[in-house]
Amino acid sequence: MKRTTLILLSFMVCLASFGQGMSEPVLKPTRMHSFSLNRISLDDAEQIVADIVSTTGLKEKFLLREGRVKNIEASTKRKKQQIIYNPEFINNLQYAANSRWAVIALFAHEVGHHIKGHTHKKSGSRPHLELEADEFAGYVLQKMGASLEESTIVMQYIATYKGSKTHPGRSDRTTAIHNGWTRSNNEVVSANSDFKLVELNTRTSGTAN
Ligand SMILES: [Zn+2]
């Protein structure tokens, strides 16, 4: 069946010339297949980022702005950690993927650039840095309750099949999210096992006493 969303991935944006900026590839959904999800306002975006940050347990502050950027960018300006996004891009992504998780993953990726210190580097977007931010996004999305599929869907829309000088290909990026999600999930499993072990030991000692 023909997909109702036809995505034309155009060109890759490299902010290297600007320094201290991480940007994502551009996508151009030509048709939307669902309007059941509410449009994401600046307030919504701020809430998404606040949720991501609180999930990590950190107290980082980010300045979120709508702007005339091609897609979304994380950068540091006058010591302020900012994320500037094109509202059309964000909403097109949500509609195309028919999932808010796709947008949450993208914001988590940008937060990852900040938290991993990428925006202090002069190199701009580089494949290994992108994978670190993707891994972080997968880790956070698992904590926020997204399934593995919900966590990786974003890559169907923002990642090109083949990598570029700035961004890895879709398969590597999906794997990075997968790895982050699995690492987070293993922590949950491990914490649960520890709890059961403690519970069992307590019961055993209780019985012995
Ligand atoms: Zn990035």
pLDDT tens-digit series, residues 41-81: 999 999 999 999 999 888 889 999 999 999 999 999 888 99
Q: Which of 155, 124, 129, 151 is nearest to 140 (CA)?
A: 151
Residue 10 clears pLDDT 90, i.e. is over it: no
**Which of 10-24, 29-43, 46-60, 181-195 comes out lowest in average pLDDT?**
10-24
Residue 2 pLDDT grade (very low, low, confident, very high; cuts 50, 70, 90):
very low
**What's the whole-number mean pLDDT along residues 172-198?**
86
In angstroms, what is the span from residue 85 Cα to ligand 1's centroid? Answer: 12
In angstroms, what is the span from residue 145 Cα to ligand 1's centroid? Answer: 22
- At 109 the pLDDT is 97
Q: Is the pTM of this model over 0.85?
A: no
In angstroms, what is the span from residue 113 Cα to ligand 1's centroid? Answer: 7
In angstroms, what is the span from residue 53 Cα to ligand 1's centroid? Answer: 17
**What's the whole-number mean pLDDT along residues 92-120?**
94
- At 130 the pLDDT is 95
**What's the whole-number mean pLDDT along residues 137-143?**
97
In angstroms, what is the span from residue 174 Cα to ligand 1's centroid? Answer: 13
Q: How far is CA 39 from CA 8, 35, 36, 85, 90, in A?
A: 22, 8, 9, 14, 9
Percent of the chain with pLDDT over 90: 60
